[in-house]
Amino acid sequence: MRARHFDIAVIGAGSGGLSAAAAAAQFGCRVVLFEAGDMGGDCLNTGCVPSKALIAAARQAQAMRTAARFGITPVAPTVDFAAVRAHVQRTIATLAPHDSQQRFEALGVSVIRAAAHFVNDRTVEARGEHYTARRFIIATGSRPAIPPIPGLAEVPYLTNETLFASETLPSHLLVIGGGAIGLEMAQAHRRLGSEVTVIEAAAPLAQDDPELAAVVLGHLAREGVGIITSAAVSRVSSSGGGITLEVGGRSITGSHLLVATGRRPNIEKLGLEAAGIAVTPRGITVDRGLRTSNRRAYAIGDVAGGRFTHEAGYQAGIVIRSALFGLPARATAAIPHVTYTDPELAQVGLTERQARAAHGDGVRVLRAPFSGNDRAVTEAEVEGLVKVITTRRGRILGAGIAGAGAGDLIQPWVLALQGRLKISALASSVLPYPTRGEASRRAAIGYFAGLASNRLLRHVMGLVSRIIP
């Protein structure tokens, strides 16, 4: 069988694959892109985009309930769930052209709407045809990981892949998993009118700073989201048209069940063994330059152990520099993450716990609560704080923010970590007033607290005052 030859073959049309394909095509490479499912992958169709659209609708409903703090009579919103769902689908449709087959074909990419698998170390097959390439980029993403709970397979359950197609607002949504996805969807459904119970076998938001996570969890509890922690679901069953979970000796029944217990890389059907590509249950094994054990192939995004859309896009740039120009490139950027609850929780770099494990007592912890921020006070959103971790010499190790707009407020700290700035750079910045961003500057200024009582500094000031009258 005669194979078609390309410079770059990309397997997977999610965020990472599309970024890599577009960049390679714009540099004049012959590019082939394989995708058996929807263009845009999980992020556009069943992940980031629809979830944030649903969260936005829920936020409007909550604003109607809580208007009294501004002197406006609160009202109970009437939720038309069909219209909410139409808003979600309309949002996807608005953004879809950017990821469409037509756009990429206009860029010169050959788009093959079929799954591809390796037949040897330099050839893939799709729909019975062979394709060879100088370099391969595997970006097949991940899918929901379904835990082996007895009875789960016998009941109808939702994942992020099916949740946004649901036509009915749950009367009582059960959520297994207290990570970002589980809590975001729990709060959104609660605000739209559902009763919600979250069950987490360990600690909710366990990968975040506990002090910041407590801000989010406390707010969700006050809104009526039930959260059961350190309790595993031992059995699932159907009961009277509902779904019952056995949790720690008690039974909890709801109308719908959402499983949000992590992700699993899509690796099973790629023929990786035929290509000599090493793999573990966590995904494809890559080096710091994202190259696999097959020197012709790279892997990016969830399939290589990544977690975020923006991380996959960043990795696509790393791979393009290496694959097209032979430049040494390593994935070294500080990758931030955000939980889009209200309040939001954002983190980049080390948490306090991680910093103390790595540096012992040689760390400083700086805090600035939003209760002391004028803009937060004017908008009656004073929950939360900025928390920054530095070395004793002022090198920034990490930053976390819990509060309104935390996903936007974390961005200067991402830049500071990436540019290896010291805390003095943030402390000396001039920010517009009144903005929430001033809380970050206030936290940075906190590093210099105590200087006024430093005996050596006061001695120097005294010498200066005598020398310069």
CA 387/CA 155 separation, integer angstroms = 43
| Closest to 269 in 3D by CA, of 162, 138, 146 | 138
CA 194/CA 196 separation, integer angstroms = 6
Judge whether 427 and 366 are in contact, CB under 8 Å: no
Question: How far separated are the first and last CA of the chain, in Å rounded?
Answer: 91
Is 179 known as a binding-site position?
yes
CA 95/CA 171 separation, integer angstroms = 30
Is 262 known as a binding-site position?
yes
Q: In the chain, count of helices (H) and strands (E)?
A: 17, 23
Those residues with Cβ within 8 angstroms of residue 466's Cβ, 6 or more apart along the chain or in another chain: none
CA distances from 266 to 160, 251, 282, 354 (A): 16, 34, 10, 30
Q: At what angle do helices 48-65 and 81-95 cross, to 10 degrees?
A: 140
Is 181 known as a binding-site position?
yes
Is 352 known as a binding-site position?
no
- Strands 250-254, 242-247: parallel, antiparallel or unpaired by DSSP? antiparallel
**Residue 461: DSSP 8-state:** H
Is 335 known as a binding-site position?
no
Is 302 known as a binding-site position?
yes
The 3-class SS string of 47-90 reads CHHHHHHHHHHHHHHHHHHCHHHHCCCCCCCCCCHHHHHHHHHH
Judge whether 186 and 198 are in contact, CB under 8 Å: yes
Is 184 known as a binding-site position?
yes
Is 182 known as a binding-site position?
yes
* Cα torsion through 16, 89, 79, 61, rounded to 10: 40
- Element of type H or E holding 424: helix 423-427
Binding residues: 52, 140-142, 177-184, 200, 262, 302
Binding residues for NAD(+): 177-184, 200, 262
Binding residues for FAD: 52, 140-142, 302
